[in-house]
């Protein structure tokens, strides 16, 4: 019998785990992301990076670091839009990807090479603990929903229980983990997912990078739902983890497993490191503030109307308040050089 967090980790990251082999994202995969929806997602991020450099917050020799880049599409989109908007920056910027799987590193290197030739030099790191930089813009798209989590449930007698897994069956047992108990009390969590592993990641980030801007996109919200959001994606079908007759053994390692991110806790992890420039937003508001509408206007002036209308429809999918625009949230964090 193992904790649900161990089972979750093995599902995604163990030998033959879901993320250990290259998976297609989009129409032919198990799910869509903002990256597979429109290259203007990366374009808006590129505009944000340029703004941070022009304002003087980041220097021109900043390293853009993407964590968990999958195929490398997002970083390539960011690079392409920087080239379009401020081409001289490519002479000074550095680019890196944090990726634990060698086969994915090879895919990313190949794609960046095919896209930009020798113009872009890409460095890989196995883990965030290996990266130590003076200045960085750190980009993480949908990574926290893949951090190991525990499942908790409070009984009618007000006893917190924790999920364990045996033979792909989930059972709840009275919780004796004081860290988990105290976390649930602090955030008034009675039912759902708890990702305590966020803290170690954020601590490492704050210790290893002297001066940075961090931007992440994920589904979730400020406050816990006090319900189970854990679910499995397979070929664009969604299966709640406690759905009747769900065959976890069959889905194990062959499909994506995820849950909603608790953004208040994630933000608090940065604040506990002395950082107070922590901004939470919806994806809609962030992309508009970054300048995605202005990018569409540039496109309109330079392409056929049919091309413009097609891309406008893709961007609309990113921004729809009833869809990705509100379902996905952002956390934007800045650390100044003088912050310890």
**3-state DSSP of the chain:** CEEHHHHHHHHHHCCCCHHHCCCCCCCCCCCCCHHHHCCHHHHHHHHHHHHHHHCCCCCCCCEEEEECCCCCHHHHHHHHHHHHHCHHHHHCCEEEEECCCHHHHHHHHHHHHHHHCCCCCEEEECCHHHCCEEEEEEEEECCHHHCCCEEEEECCCCCEEEEEEECCEEEEEECCCHHHHHHHHHCCCCEEEECCCHHHHHHHHHHHEEEEEEEEEEEEECCCCCCCCCEEEECCEEEECCCCCCCHHHHCCCCEEECCEEHHHHHHHHHCCCCCEEEEEEHHHHHHHHCHHHHHHHHHCCCCHHHHHHHHHHHHHHHCCCCHHHHEEEEEEEECCCCC
Within 8 A by CB and 6+ apart from 329, the residues are 217, 218, 219, 220, 221, 222, 261, 263, 280, 281, 282, 283
pLDDT interval class at 19 (50, 70, 90): confident
Q: Beta partners for 55?
A: none
Within 8 A by CB and 6+ apart from 42, the residues are 35, 73, 74, 75, 76, 77, 78, 80, 81
Percentage of the chain with pLDDT > 90? 87
Query: Over the stretch 71-101, which tens digit does the pLDDT of each residue have?
Result: 899 999 999 999 999 999 999 999 999 999 8
pLDDT at residue 26 is higher than 70: no
Mean pLDDT of all residues in 8-25: 81
Q: What is the pLDDT of residue 23?
A: 54
pLDDT interval class at 133 (50, 70, 90): very high
pLDDT at residue 25 is higher than 70: no
Residue 118's CB is within 10 A of a number of other CB atoms, namely: 6
pLDDT at residue 141 is higher than 60: yes
pLDDT interval class at 236 (50, 70, 90): confident
Q: What is the pLDDT of residue 31?
A: 42
Domains in the chain with CATH codes? 2-151+188-332 (3.40.50.12710)
pLDDT interval class at 338 (50, 70, 90): low
CB 99 within 8 A of CB 124: yes
Query: pTM of the full predicted structure?
Result: 0.93
CB 242 within 8 A of CB 231: no
pLDDT at residue 221 is higher than 60: yes
């Amino acid at each position: 019998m193992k904790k649900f967090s161990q089972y979750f980790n093995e599902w995604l990251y163990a030998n033959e785990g879901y993320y250990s082999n290259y998976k297609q994202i989009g129409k032919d995969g198990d799910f869509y992301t903002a990256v597979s929806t429109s290259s203007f997602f990366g374009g808006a991020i590129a505009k944000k990076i340029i703004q941070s450099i022009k304002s003087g917050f980041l220097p021109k020799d900043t390293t853009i670091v993407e964590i968990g880049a999958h195929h490398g599409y997002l970083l390539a989109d960011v690079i392409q839009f920087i080239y379009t908007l401020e081409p001289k920056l490519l002479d000074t910027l550095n680019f890196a990807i944090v990726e634990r799987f060698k086969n994915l590193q090879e895919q990313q290197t190949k794609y960046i090479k095919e896209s930009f030739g020798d113009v872009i030099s890409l460095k890989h790191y196995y883990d965030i603990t290996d990266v130590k930089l003076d200045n960085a813009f750190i980009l993480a798209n949908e990574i926290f929903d893949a951090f190991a989590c525990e499942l908790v449930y409070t009984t009618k007698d007000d006893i917190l229980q924790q999920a364990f897994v045996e033979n792909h069956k989930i059972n709840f047992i009275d919780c004796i983990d004081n860290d988990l108990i105290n976390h649930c009390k602090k955030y008034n969590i009675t039912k759902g997912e708890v990702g305590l592993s966020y803290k170690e990641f954020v601590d490492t980030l704050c210790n290893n990078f002297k001066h940075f801007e961090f931007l992440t996109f994920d589904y979730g919200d400020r406050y816990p739902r006090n319900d189970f959001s854990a679910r499995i994606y397979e070929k664009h079908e969604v299966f709640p983890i406690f759905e009747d007759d769900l065959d976890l053994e069959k889905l194990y390692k062959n499909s994506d497993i995820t849950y909603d991110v608790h953004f208040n806790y994630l933000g608090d992890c940065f604040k506990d490191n002395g950082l107070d420039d922590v901004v939470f937003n919806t994806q809609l508001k962030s992309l508009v503030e970054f300048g995605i509408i202005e990018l569409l206007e540039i496109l309109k002036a330079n392409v056929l109307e049919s091309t413009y209308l097609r891309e406008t429809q893709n961007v609309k999918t990113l921004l729809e308040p009833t869809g990705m625009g509100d379902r996905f949230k952002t956390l934007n964090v800045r650390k100044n050089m003088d912050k310890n």
